[in-house]
Amino acid sequence: MRRLRDFWLGEADVAPVALFRILFGLLLFNWFWQLYPNLTAFFTDAGILPRSDLASSYPDRLSVLSLSGEGWVVAAIWAVSCVVALSLAAGWHTRLASLLSFVLVSSFSWRDPLILDGSDLVFRLVPLWLAFTAAGDRWSIDARRRDTPAARGWAFPIRLLELQIAWIYLATGL
């Protein structure tokens, strides 16, 4: 029973979650980069789903992209999203970058839900889980700014992230 408690509530090496943070940040940057050619078509009022139609079909979906349907605003939010993804990969203000990634991915996902699939849901949830881990405590700018980088962190948020990914594999395999 003690081993089970230590597995879930004890400490865990933060190196795997730090590597995951780096790779996920790069994948997130790639995800945003692939949106660029279609920013006008999918995320502005001049595109296939103006904000007025979106609001009538999905009134409960709040998004940063709901602020304006202008192309330059969408492009600016996209540029900020790319910077935040790279910040997450580099581990610069990791928790803030994780939370901002969650908000920005959610904003793009909710702005035009017709063009996305289930993998985008994963890209929306993972940064939220990362915000609760010690992902910035190793191999990051945050760790370099500290005197002694942490080698271990609380295991529970890491286990929840692992459980989320395992659940995805289980659910898609059935």
Residue 159 has pLDDT above 80, yes or no: yes
As beta bridge partners, residue 154 has 11
Q: How far apart are CA 75 and CA 110, in angstroms?
A: 16
What are the tens digits of pLDDT across the range 35-60?
A: 999 999 999 999 998 988 888 888 88
At 77, is the pLDDT very low, low, confident or very high (cuts 50, 70, 90)? Answer: very high
Confidence of residue 96 (pLDDT cuts 50, 70, 90): very high
Q: Percent of the chain at pLDDT above 90?
A: 45
For the cut 80, the answer to whether the pLDDT of residue 125 exceeds it is: yes
pLDDT at 149: 65
Largest CA distance in the chain: 59
Q: Is 110:67 a contact under the CB 8 Å cutoff?
A: no
Q: Is 91 left (phi over 0), alpha (psi -120 to 50) or beta?
A: left
Cα 152 to Cα 14: distance, rounded to the nearest angstrom: 5
Q: What's the pTM value of the predicted model, to 2 decimals? A: 0.87
Kindly report which listed range (51-55, 56-60, 102-106, 128-132) carries the lowest average pLDDT score.
56-60
Q: Would you kindly state where each structural domain of the chain is located, as residue ranges?
A: 15-173
pLDDT for residue 121: 79
Do residues 113 and 49 make contact, with C-beta atoms less than 8 angstroms apart?
no
Among candidate residues 78, 73, 94, the one with its CA nearest the CA of residue 22:
94
pLDDT at 146: 83
